[in-house]
Amino acid sequence: MIDGFKNPNVKSFTTFFEEKNAPKDDDYNMVILHILEDDSPTVKRLEEECKKKNITFFNCLVDGAYVEEGILYARKSEKGFELTDNTVVMVLGDLQKKNAYLNFLSELERVGCTLVNSRRTIEVCSDKYRTYLNLKNADIEQPKTVLIPNKDAAEDALEKLGSKFPIILKTTTGSKGVGVIFIESERSYNATVQLLYKIDDDVELLIQEYIKTDGDIRVLVLGKTIIASMKRHVIDGDFRSNYSQGGKVSKYNLSDLEKEKVLLAAKKVNGKYVGVDFIPTKNGPRIIEVNHSPGSQGIEEATGPVIDKVVDYWSDPKHRVHTPEECGFLEVINVHPFGSIISKFDSGNSSLPVIHGEKIQYDDKNKIVHWILFGKKMSRPLDHIMKVNLGGLRDYSEKRYVVKLDIDFAGKTYKDVSFTIDDRKSRTRILLNRDLMVRMNVMVNPQRKYVLTNKIESDRMKDNESTISKSKG
């Protein structure tokens, strides 16, 4: 391991950019974020394909990694790698083990990296019961599943399941067949549950009906497309079929119904690259898991190369979509040079953002717009005049001056944001629009306010916010 990364031949991203040939729009670099000291076969295949396609590849352990001023540093590393809008981060392994790991993903999302699967998707897929609930809400057929919330609830959970033995007992966060137990009797069930809780008081368990089968199906979904599918045959003397446990694999041809349900399952966890597992039955597939970091070794053995498709997928800029952050319908933005103002984030506003103005005047000679905002005179060059169609009680159109302002929000500066000026004294002084929220990469929660910023306590701020109760504007 060199400076925290695994490949000593990989150039720094800075060097990459300083080379004679500047990157094109479809150029990107890939960061693999994982928890294992030793590289898995999937990591090696990703590195191999990136090398073939001249994609800069960074291999980084999450433990000890951090970001500072847009630079990714790994444990024991003095050198870092620049993160940009063209950085794609793929997570391999279960980061659910530590909140610090998950919080690090949020940090990568905030700096503008594209996560192959978002933090939310990873959290859902890492918890078998959360996955079950997400799919259940979409009427996707699954083995009946019951959570055991604590050690005293084992009997009630068994009664609620209502299935005959054998049943399956699982930890909610297990992977690769680990933490999956075949239970043949009530005595075995009670003893196993007691033992697991004795080992770990905080262990989270669930039980499922057992569906007898000679194997399950693993399907890889990339974007909205199925790229491979295989059958994992039950291991001799075992009930599991995981390739990592020694299971044999073969190519599998999906029915139309199986394709439909697999794609729906991937969609319901908002997965961009996931492995969907199901048991085939005469009544259609029973989905048993959605994996956010599927391994490649078994399925490539069964179907041929798939990692090349994964690497190629992110070459298309349309696929490099940054995960939006949740924001409140009210947040504080800083308007240069005025200062902080409570603003309404309105995804329904398809026109330009609006800023409050009183005594609006236009100096035609100098092409300057003047207005008063909270008693302070504002002046800006006129960008253009636009026609605004007003609905509601004001069902007419009017002409408004458009100016460009620099604003700060959540630690970032957005230059030359176009605003129309209008008298909004009975409403929030600033109304932002859908396009600016896309630029900011935020998604509004209409039930919350001040998610990313703090309300500033001042008379002016109070006056600003008090207008909310008077109008929906």
Domains of the chain: 13-115 (3.40.50.20), 144-209 (3.30.1490.20), 215-317 (3.30.470.20), 325-470 (2.40.70.10)
Tell me the pLDDT band of 459, cut-offs 50, 70 and 90: low
pLDDT of residue 463: 64
| Cis previous bond, 337, omega within 30 | yes
pLDDT one-digit tens code per residue, 277-315? 999 999 999 999 999 999 999 999 999 999 999 999 999
Residue 155 neighbours by CB distance under 10 Å: 13
- Give CA angle at 290 (262, 258), nearest 5°: 15
Mean pLDDT for the chain? 86
pLDDT of residue 6: 40
Q: What is the DSSP secondary structure assignment for residue 5, as one 8-state letter?
A: B
Q: How far apart are CA 20 and CA 238, in angstroms?
A: 57
Mean pLDDT on 234-251: 64
Q: What is the DSSP string of 136-183?
A: HTTT-----EEEE-SGGGHHHHHHHH-PPSPEEEEETT--TTTTEEEE
Secondary structure (3-state) at 387: strand
CA–CA separation, 29 and 27 (whole Å):
7
| Contact yes or no for 157/197 (Cβ under 8 A) | no
Q: What is the mean pLDDT of residues 125-140?
A: 93
User: With the CA atoms of 97, 74, 60 and 22 taken in that order, what torsion angle do they form, in degrees rounded to the nearest 10?
Assistant: 140
pLDDT of residue 352: 93
Task: Express each pLDDT in 420-447 by its tens digit.
Answer: 999 998 899 999 999 999 888 888 999 9
Q: What is the DSSP string of 254-295?
A: PPHHHHHHHHHHHHHTT-SEEEEEEEEETTEEEEEEEESS--
User: pTM higher than 0.95 for the full model?
Assistant: no
Residue 162 C-alpha from the chain's centroid: 36
- Residue 21 backbone dihedrals phi, psi, to 5 degrees: -90, 110
pLDDT at 1: 34
Q: What is the predicted pLDDT for the residue at 96?
A: 74
Give me the pLDDT at residue 362, please: 95
Residue 264 has pLDDT above 70, yes or no: yes
Q: Is the pLDDT of residue 460 over 90?
A: no
What integer pLDDT is reported at residue 14 of this predicted model? 39
- List of E strands, 86-144: 87-92, 114-115
